[in-house]
């Protein structure tokens, strides 16, 4: 009797030690080991959650460990603006201005528009697509600060994610820090609720998905490992921590051929080394996660499933 993999994956996988996998090993264990091997090759700590939006099943590595958001919080920030606009609580097309005092590093949109200002919607789009830091801070100010974004997460059932500071202070997340953190398990489900759930009405979901697809910073990360023809969008983040340790983030969605369920993902890599070499290593590791997503989304072709999954 052929058993479909999704009938047997009874929830999130508990991952075993990395190593070579015998040919008759369960496909689930094969995915688990692949994630471990990606982590080992990257010489860091990899946090991953791949979430099947149709079945609710997931595959994860270090799924409940806290990682800093870096700029990945900006996806949820843009969603918060669109949600409030749809509810009539704020006008996303209201024009706002800012001053030189608001300007910090990485301001491709706000620097260009400092003389004329922009609408809140334009700021949200720039925050998502270009990761403009002043735009994110201005939006946070208009929406009620970091506590408002944390409240948004709580309102959609995310009891883990939190934002406590603004750019650039929120990037200072040493290992013992709880502020400005999330877990892969929590964020993959939050992305699913934002992109595929009822958090946003359909027009706002479509608008946000379009912004995610247009976010070119993700093209060298998870999306680089997906097969040609898949539709995907994301929000990345990168930050330097203590010494030469770096945090590379990619959260988003991936849609395969018709008939395959959309997968949301949340990936975090903490690794040490010179930034010149670490960037390439991180991109390689996250792109390899994209290949695991393909395997996770596709039904197995008659491969046996053995062992017990927790």
Q: Known catalytic residues?
A: 71, 167
In the structure encoding, which two tokens stand for residue 144, read together?
């009620």
166's CB contacts (< 8 A; 6+ apart) are 136, 137, 140, 145, 146
99's CB contacts (< 8 A; 6+ apart) are 114
The sign of the torsion formed by the CA atoms of 19, 20, 22, 24 equals positive
What's the CA dihedral at 141, 143, 148, 151 to 10 degrees? Answer: -170
């Amino acid at each position: 009797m052929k058993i479909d993999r999704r009938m047997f994956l009874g929830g999130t996988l508990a991952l075993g030690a990395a190593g070579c996998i015998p040919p008759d090993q369960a496909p689930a264990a094969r995915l688990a080991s692949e994630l471990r091997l990606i982590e080992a090759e990257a010489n860091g700590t990899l946090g991953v959650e791949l979430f099947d939006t149709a079945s609710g099943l997931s595959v994860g590595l270090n799924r409940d460990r806290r990682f800093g958001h870096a700029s990945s919080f900006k996806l949820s920030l843009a969603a918060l603006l669109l949600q409030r606009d749809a509810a009539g609580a704020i006008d996303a097309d209201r024009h706002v201005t800012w001053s030189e005092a608001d300007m910090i590093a990485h301001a491709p949109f706000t620097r260009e528009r400092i003389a004329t200002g922009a609408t809140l919607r334009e700021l949200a789009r720039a925050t998502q697509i270009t990761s403009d830091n002043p735009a994110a801070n201005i939006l946070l100010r208009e929406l009620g600060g970091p506590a408002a974004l944390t409240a948004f997460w709580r309102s959609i059932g995310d009891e883990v994610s939190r934002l406590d500071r603004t750019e650039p202070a929120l990037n200072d997340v040493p290992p013992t820090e709880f502020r400005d953190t999330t877990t892969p398990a929590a964020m993959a489900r939050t992305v699913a609720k934002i992109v595929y759930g009822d958090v946003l009405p359909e027009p706002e979901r479509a608008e946000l998905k379009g912004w995610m697809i247009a976010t070119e910073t993700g093209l060298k990360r998870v999306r680089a490992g997906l097969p040609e023809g898949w539709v995907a969008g994301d929000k990345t983040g990168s930050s330097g921590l203590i010494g030469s340790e770096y945090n590379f983030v990619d959260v988003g969605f991936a849609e395969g051929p018709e008939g395959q369920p959309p997968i949301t993902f949340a990936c975090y890599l903490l690794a040490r080394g010179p930034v010149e070499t670490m960037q390439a290593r991180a991109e390689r590791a996250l792109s390899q996660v994209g290949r695991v997503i393909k395997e996770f989304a596709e039904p197995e072709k008659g491969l046996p499933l053995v062992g017990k999954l927790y």
